[in-house]
Amino acid sequence: MRDLLGFLVFAVIVFFVVGETIGWNVGIAGSTPVMVYKRDGAVATERQTVRAPQMEIGLRGRVRAGEVEVRIVHQDMGSFQTNRPPETPRVIFEQTFLRGQALNMTRTFDEGHGRYEVELRFREASGTFQVRFPSGADL
C-alpha cells in the first residue's frame, strides 16, 4: 500500500511539472471527454455516413483559459460503383471560443453522404470538451 501511495504522489508531481511547462491533454475525441490543461495543439475525430444524408454533431465544454477553435470539414468520398472521384474537403463550420465561453451546441449538417471531421485546435487552452456523434447504426 505504501508503494502504491508513493507511486501516485510521484505521478501527480510529474503530471503537474509537465503540465506547467508544456501542457497536457487526456482523452480521445469522439469517444471520451478530452481534458486539456494549458495546451497548444489539436485533436481530431471523424465519422463517415453511408446511408444517412446528414450528420448530427454535438459539442460540449467550457473554455477555462486560452481559446479553442472548432472546425468541421466535410468530404464526399465519391463512388467506385459509378466511377465518381472524391471531392476535395471543405470547411462547413468554423468558430473560435474564448476564455469563459461554453461550447454547447448540437447541429445537423445536411452536406450529404461522406466523411465529417471535427477538429479542435487549442491555444493555451484549459477545459474539458466532448464531441458527440450519432451511433454507427444510424449512419
> Where would I find the beta strands (DSSP E) of the chain?
24-26, 34-49, 55-75, 90-98, 102-109, 114-132
Q: What is the pLDDT of residue 138?
A: 62
Q: According to the model, what pLDDT value does residue 22 have? A: 55
Check residue 31 and give its pLDDT: 78
Distance linking the first and last C-alpha atoms of the chain: 48
> Residue type at 72?
I
Per-residue confidence (pLDDT) for residue 99, from 0 to 100:
94
Contact yes or no for 57/132 (Cβ under 8 A): yes
What is the pTM (predicted TM-score) of this model? 0.77
| Helix boundaries (H) for the chain | 2-22
CB 46, CB 116: distance < 8 Å:
yes
**pLDDT confidence of residue 39:** 80
pLDDT tens track for 119-129: 999 999 999 99
Listed by start position, the domains of the chain span 26-138
Fold of 26-138: Jelly Rolls (2.60.120)
16-72: per-residue pLDDT in tens?
655 555 565 677 777 788 888 888 888 899 998 888 888 899 999 999 999 999 999
